[in-house]
Chains A and B, each alone.
Chain A
Amino acid sequence: MVAQDIDLVLPQGVRYALIGPNGAGKTTLINLITGMLRPDAGEIVLGEEDITALRPDTRVKRGLARTFQINTLFPRLTALESVALAVLEREGHSETWWKPLPAYRGAIDEAHAILHSLNLEKASYRLTRELAYGQQRLLEIALALATRPRVLLLDEPAAGVPKDESAELFAAISGLSRDLTILFIEHDMDVVFRFASRIIVMVSGRILAQGTPQEIGADPQVREVYLGKGRHG
């Protein structure tokens, strides 16, 4: 999968949907932005800072977080431990080996509060691998939120979730802080048009169009190339 000639600006607080047929390069784009892939050319700027040369973990520290299309969690950690891990990392405590975990009450409470805000409170003390699939999808988001991102990239957050639950999941996402810039990949057009304030259409590694849902819905090129052919490519 390739992505080229991408020119994209994400202003603060906007909720973007990134759509396009399978193989259009949507996940590749997220991998490029987060540093999991290196671009051959071009630059990536976060706020005022050029982050093109930074490692993925350093980019996260700068406020750029992502989730994964396929659950990429910590199977034998509890939900609380997983989120606390991310909070402790953000606060710079992960190097500390002489103080026991319960001493970090602030971090643990924050992890707990994040789980609470996503309705995962009941899952706190259970191992991740024992959680229901939908809960695991939410935990994906909880982990990203624990890094306190300015920009959040969600790779098909509702992948594999039944339709009625996916609306719930997106309701939780749209309830997140308005300061947060969100870009999500999603195939369900009902969801896209309901939750996105702007839509980016990718086809064959290039951005075909971007604009408000109305503009995209009316764009003849998009209708022809993408929407007309069926949503799932």
Chain B
Amino acid sequence: MESASRHLEAQIRWRRLETVFWLCTLLPFVAAPAYLQLASQIAITALFALSLDLILGYAGIVSLGHAAYFGVGAYTAGLLAKHGWGEPLSGLLISGILAGLTGYATSHIIVRFRHLALIMLTLGLGLLLYEAANSASWLTGGADGLQGVRIRPLLEMFRFDLYGSTAYAYSLVVLFACFLISRRIIHSPFGLALRGIRENALRMPAIGAPSRAHLRKVYSIAAILAGVAGALLAQTTETVSLEVLSFGRSADVLVILILGGAGRLYGGLLGAILYMVARDQFSGMNPQYWYFWIGLLLVAVVMFLPNGILGGLAKFLQRST
């Protein structure tokens, strides 16, 4: 009996490799100060992918419209700052809450569907919000983007400078905090229930589990995290373009998560690093065709590493020890 709890404890304990990973995220400050803006974008994308991992990797909700919540967060933070509320932390909080409320409202429809219908539904919701923002140009600036976003210094001390050191530090700290929360969630009874839904949605009611209530909850949490990521982007770049709500962003984050490995927390982070660095490099060489390489990478990973790069790594390490 004693061993049962200990076995579960061993599964969730903080590993040395995790410490190494998070220490490495500090490297850009010293090793690549010219790339801090990129590093900040990566941290934001990683947070967005992490939020998708909660619903896709753990609860099995496939979404092609996750940018909706990212966009709501971005526009909320941008509009707040444009109209005088430039304090970043409270702006971040408000944006997260608003995105979460949007997520909660839409979750009532989302949880009723699965498979293809679900994919189409999320896609439709995403397109809906995109065009709504596009036509409401008096509010969002439409296709020209939201101008005049002024963010106050972080904690009234650190200005968002051109090099992006504040931006990266800020994004990284928020990412780390959200990661810790996500980690907490997936190792809780609620997280186990989510995995149960992913593994067999039919069985859940037969063990007394209200699956839909669980799904609504995780969907709202994921929307909060996506909104926070969007708000980070708006605040650190001091602009919001329609792109934050675009289908491309929804598709990219899905690709990032699948590449990295869904259902492993670190998959989205690793995927974001690879994807963003690859885009930076490839698009420098050949701006028109860089999706060719992403396409190639995606095909290769799905064919040979069905659990993503991280899944492949884990298997390799398992075999070699």
Contacts and interface: CB of A to CB of B under 8 A. Distances in A.
B66 to A, nearest CB: 20
B200 A112 contact: no
- Which 7 pairs show the lowest CB-CB distances between chains A and B? A60-B208, A74-B199, A97-B190, A56-B205, A86-B207, A57-B205, A94-B193
B217 interface: yes
A72 B202 contact: yes
Interface in A92-113: 93-102, 104-105, 108-109, 111-113
Nearest to B207: A86
Given A57-B210, A98-B188, A101-B191, 20 more contacts: A60-B206, A68-B203, A72-B203, A73-B200, A75-B199, A80-B8, A81-B195, A94-B214, A95-B214, A95-B217, A96-B189, A97-B190, A101-B12, A102-B5, A102-B6, A108-B5, A109-B4, A109-B5, A144-B206, A146-B207
Interface string B182-219: 00110111111101100110111111111101100100
Interface of B: 1, 4-9, 12, 184-185, 187-193, 195-196, 199-200, 202-211, 213-214, 217
A85 B192 CA distance: 7
A147 interface: yes
B8 A85 contact: no
A163 interface: no
B190 A95 contact: yes
Contacts of A97: 184-185, 188-191
Interface in A103-154: 104-105, 108-109, 111-113, 124-125, 143-144, 146-147
Nearest to A112: B4
A25 B209 CA distance: 26
Contacts of A15: none
A99 B9 CA distance: 12
